[in-house]
Structure 1
């Protein structure tokens, strides 16, 4: 059987703050919550993807702050450039990468920092989400 990625698990300082952040900015919902020997655990997922991929958040533990040159992040696709700008505006207090354009496949993006210092990228036009079709059509037109 070929392996299938199902989750990423992270320790977080405050499970409630983490859930609130991912709900507000990423549209994720809690699909499972429990307490293991006094440690709270929550699974967060996109609507309709609850059985294919989740973020497992485990309360307790700390991680070192992310260095400014460290590009480690989670990526979320948005439906438009305007949506990227709106996330940057709403998440101003969390903003670490202001909106900018880079050559394909990076496209248009910004990033926020979650309550535990993880970077969360929001993009439009990458090959893994909305806007990829427009870029692919432009490439075909230029080559044809």
Structure 2
């Protein structure tokens, strides 16, 4: 049996759970890997993962998405190419959820945008941050 250690998840309140599932699938390539209804509250709970590492985004159905991750407090997802960031920016523009146009701040910040999920939480989509490389080099 494997025991989870380290950072395993972030949990956010979501009033629009189904919309949030669709949003994170489209913009972060995440899928539902677990779902249940909490026996005490009666609220739905879903775990979303992009299956690249043992980490999930937990969305918990709530009356209000408090607190809300807003522009600087955010989730970050790395993209494979700068073009992918541009394509997602175009989709977000069409969907009316682009918070910040693409910007390139160079190493180590990279090229990124911010988009707003259905509950107002901010998601950064970036290319070139090299978080994995920084972790490797720190070892």
Range class of TM-score, shorter chain: 0.7 to 0.9
Instruction: Decide which structure has the larger Cα Rg and report it.
Output: 1
1:101 matches 2:104: yes
SS at match of 2:131: coil
Gaps of 5+ in 2: 134-139
Give the aligned partner of residue 77 of structure 2: 76
Q: How big is the alpha-carbon RMSD for the aligned residues of Structure 1 and Structure 2?
A: 2.1
1:113 matches 2:113: no
Give the aligned partner of residue 47 of structure 2: 43
Structure 1 residues 64, 48: CA separation in 2 closer, same or farther (over 3 Å shift)? closer
TM-score (norm 2): 0.82
1:17 matches 2:19: yes
SS at match of 2:120: coil
Equivalent-residue separation in structure 1 for 2:52 and 2:14 (angstroms): 25
Structure 1 residues 48, 66: CA separation in 2 closer, same or farther (over 3 Å shift)? closer
| Length, aligned pairs only | 126
1:5 matches 2:14: no
Equivalent-residue separation in structure 1 for 2:105 and 2:52 (angstroms): 31
Q: Deviations over 1:11-36 (max 9, x none)?
A: 11111011010011111000000001
Moved over 3 A (4+): 64-67
Equivalent-residue separation in structure 2 for 1:73 and 1:15 (angstroms): 18
Equivalent-residue separation in structure 2 for 1:116 and 1:12 (angstroms): 6
Equivalent-residue separation in structure 1 for 2:120 and 2:86 (angstroms): 21
Give the aligned partner of residue 63 of structure 2: 61
